[in-house]
Structure 1
Amino acid sequence: MADNLVSLQVKQSGHVAEVTLLGPGKGNAMGPDFWRELPVVFRELDADPDIRAIVLTGSGKHFSYGLDLPAMMTEWGGMLGGTALAGARTEFLAKIRTMQDSVTAVADCRKPVIAAVSGWCVGGGVDLIAAADIRLASADAKFSVREVRVAMVADIGSLQRLGGIVGEGHLRELAYTGKDVDAARAEKIGLVNDVYADQDALLAAAHELAASIAKNPPLVVQGVKDVLDHQRAPRVADGLRYVSTWNAAFLPSKDLGEAVQAFLERRDPEFSGE
């Protein structure tokens, strides 16, 4: 397994791997280390013949607060400026597609991935669990496709993958409003399969499910996943390419700057549509 991981921890029990988000941002927020390490970890797990199923979870009380906005805005720098020209926007397009590829590495992993969600799962966290095969939650879990509330079009996979999970109507409601959804509602709309009393019960159930998958012929399980993904994967890839191009062209805005400033100042943003 990859050495010197900062944002992820990997443990193995039998034929099941547990991948835990570590942050290092508050609430396991997804900064540059996360986007770099996630595909490395999942490609290594994909290639490991001893691994047959994966449990994906978060450290502490929360799955993930989503994108580590201050850290990523620092990295993006002038790429989002209102006067950014073709060179800067092309560089930003490449950044988006690299982040998309990181999450797609989870979807492309031939081993079934079970996301075990406690506490908050926001923005990029929802992108991540949408790339998993199965989602479970504890009763305290809360979900939000939050990007619209910070003047962004979600571009890492939620808009492409959630329709097949919760249906178009529920996806549009989540994406247009950025509303928070509790575990009971998430179960009702099919975002999660089951809800458990607490985090300990959730992880136990996730590992039990992973172990039951791991008992089956591994190549057959991988074949089932391949067949299920055959029609979806090209559609998702096309959608990801489109939204990355759209955001490279239109994401820079006064509203985005206002959203970032409001976030840093811990106040509600005032959007002008500019």
Structure 2
Amino acid sequence: MVEEKYKTLEVVEKNPKSGVFHLYLNRPRQRNALTHDFCTEFPKALYALDHNRDVNVIVLSGAGDHFCSGIDISQLKSITQSYHDAGESLRRQILAMQDSVTALERCRKPVIASTHGACIGGAIDIVTACDLRYCMEEAFFSVKEVDGHSTHTVSIVIEREREEGGGDDSGSGRERGSLGILFNFLEFE
């Protein structure tokens, strides 16, 4: 099978015939920050691994000192500077990011998140969408979007998302959307 080359990812089978494939977020100098390329490549890589008969399980981790520092802020700046309608462009970028997280739900092979160092913002969405999550003792997690908001405010937003159909109807027990994923993370950890 011909392996595709990615800008932001690396796929490695460390032990041939083991069925364990490692999917690395591979931008260690940028602390594996999430970019537009990631949003395009991640679903493709998961699809390829999911359809590879040699793959039994996927271990997702980050190259370098950190799992992932969240969305690459420079990407957001370029979106707002590049397009006439910056709000719509940002919305489309967020939807692409959400689709890359949803790719984990579409993957029928089990995905295990192996977290070390920083796991920030959108990275928490990714980790919590995995089937199993493990972390090193030095790992730390941060969701800055909830700073300054009370738990009550977050609960109201989650409840509103459920009422508007943002909840999961597939029976998988997972909520959709960033706050839904955060809710699952807080509920199960």
Same fold, TM-score > 0.5, yes or no: yes
Letter in 1 for 2:11: V
Could you say which residue in structure 1 is the equivalent of 2:6?
Answer: 5
Residues 113-169 of structure 1, C-alpha deviation per residue, up to 9 Å, x if partnerless? 1100011100111111011011101110000112345xxx9xx943112323422xx
CA distance in 2, matches of 1:111, 1:125: 20
Q: Secondary structure at the match of 1:3?
A: coil
Could you say which residue in structure 2 is the equivalent of 1:45?
Answer: 49
Could you say which residue in structure 2 is the equivalent of 1:18?
Answer: 22
1:160 aligned to 2:180? yes
CA distance in 2, matches of 1:33, 1:25: 16
How has the CA–CA distance of structure 1 residues 111 and 73 changed in structure 2, closer, same or farther, with 3 Å as cutoff? same
Residues 23-82 of structure 1, C-alpha deviation per residue, up to 9 Å, x if partnerless? 265211112221121111001111112211110001111101111101332134255xxx
Q: Which has the larger radius of gyration?
A: 1
Letter in 1 for 2:19: H
How has the CA–CA distance of structure 1 residues 161 and 105 changed in structure 2, closer, same or farther, with 3 Å as cutoff? same
CA distance in 2, matches of 1:89, 1:66: 20
Q: Which runs of 5+ in 2 are unaligned?
A: 148-156, 158-175
Preserved CA contact (<8 Å) 1:63 1:118: yes
Matched residue pairs, number?
A: 162
Could you say which residue in structure 2 is the equivalent of 1:129?
Answer: 127
1:66 aligned to 2:70? yes
Q: Which of 92, 95, 103 is the aligned partner of 2:93?
A: 95
Deviating beyond 4 angstroms after TM superposition, the runs of 4 or more aligned structure 1 residues are: none
Provide the TM-score with structure 1 as the length reference.
0.53
Could you say which residue in structure 2 is the equivalent of 1:238?
Answer: none
Give the alignment of 1:191-230 within 5 angstroms: none
Greater helix share, structure number: 1
1:143 aligned to 2:141? yes
Q: Which of 15, 34, 55 is the aligned partner of 2:38?
A: 34
How has the CA–CA distance of structure 1 residues 39 and 18 changed in structure 2, closer, same or farther, with 3 Å as cutoff? same
Letter in 2 for 1:109: C
Q: Offset of 1:88 from its aligned partner?
A: 4.8
Letter in 1 for 2:181: R
Letter in 1 for 2:178: S
Residues 155-190 of structure 1, C-alpha deviation per residue, up to 9 Å, x if partnerless? x943112323422xxxxxxxxxxxxxxxxxxxxx71
Residues 235-259 of structure 1, C-alpha deviation per residue, up to 9 Å, x if partnerless? xxxxxxxxxxxxxxxxxxxxxxxxx
Letter in 2 for 1:73: K
Preserved CA contact (<8 Å) 2:80 2:86: no
Q: Secondary structure at the match of 1:51?
A: coil
